[in-house]
Amino acid sequence: MSHSIEWRCPSCQHPHSQELDATDHLSCPECGHRQHYTEGTLGPAGAVVDPVGNCVVCGYERMFSQKDFNRKLGLLIVVIGAVLSPWTYGLSLVVCMGLDYGLYFFVPEITVCYGCDGIYRGFENNPKHRAHDPLLADRYRREAPGQPDTDTDVRPPAANET
Ligand SMILES: [Zn+2]
Ligand SMILES: [Zn+2]
């Protein structure tokens, strides 16, 4: 299974989805920024360690795993079922909730970095990673490497401004 990551370029803030194999860095198609994988994230075979232990983008080891489930889509399916239920005597709602459950059951797990929101797909499940904890998420984000101490949103000037 191929490994991929959704990451946000620290230079231009654009989100990207890229393959993680056969290289030692991510390159931003938007601004050309090269994000080298953090230390210890490459295995002896030259591929990213699987299951992922440290974030290749920010180096943080706090991550959580969750189902790769689109909650909005799930909600939409149930809403459609509910809207149609007067004409189907409630059957559509039952069918749509079943569909939702089936979707949830079959979608794979993803690993998400607390520090930079990087999303890892195609990796083995790391037993160290638990479900998302909203109580710890804030603290973890502040503790993550490369995070500014304050909430000020200082963005570097765009490199390719004309
Ligand atoms: Zn960029
Ligand atoms: Zn990260």
* CB distance 119 to 4 below 8 Å: no
The number of the ligand nearest the C-alpha atom of 140 reads: 2
What pLDDT score does 159 carry?
A: 56
Domain ranges of the chain: 1-65+109-162, 69-107
* CB distance 30 to 16 below 8 Å: yes
Measured over the CA atoms of residue 29, residue 34, residue 38 and residue 43, the dihedral's sign is positive
For residues 28 and 18, what is the distance between their CA atoms, to the nearest angstrom?
9
Residues with CB under 5 Å of ion ligand 1 are 9, 11-12, 28, 30-31, 33
The number of the ligand nearest the C-alpha atom of 115 reads: 2
Model pLDDT for residues 24-48, shown as the tens digit of each residue: 899 999 999 999 999 889 888 778 8
The number of the ligand nearest the C-alpha atom of 59 reads: 2
Residues with CB under 5 Å of ion ligand 2 are 55, 57-58, 60, 113, 115-116, 118
The number of the ligand nearest the C-alpha atom of 26 reads: 1
What pLDDT score does 64 carry?
A: 96
What pLDDT score does 45 carry?
A: 78
Q: pTM for the complete prediction?
A: 0.78
Cα–ligand 2 centroid distance for 106 (angstroms): 26
Model pLDDT for residues 43-91, shown as the tens digit of each residue: 887 788 899 999 999 999 999 999 998 889 999 999 999 999 999 999 9
Going by pLDDT thresholds of 50, 70 and 90, the confidence category of residue 146 is confident
Model pLDDT for residues 97-136, shown as the tens digit of each residue: 999 999 888 899 999 999 999 999 999 999 999 999 999 9
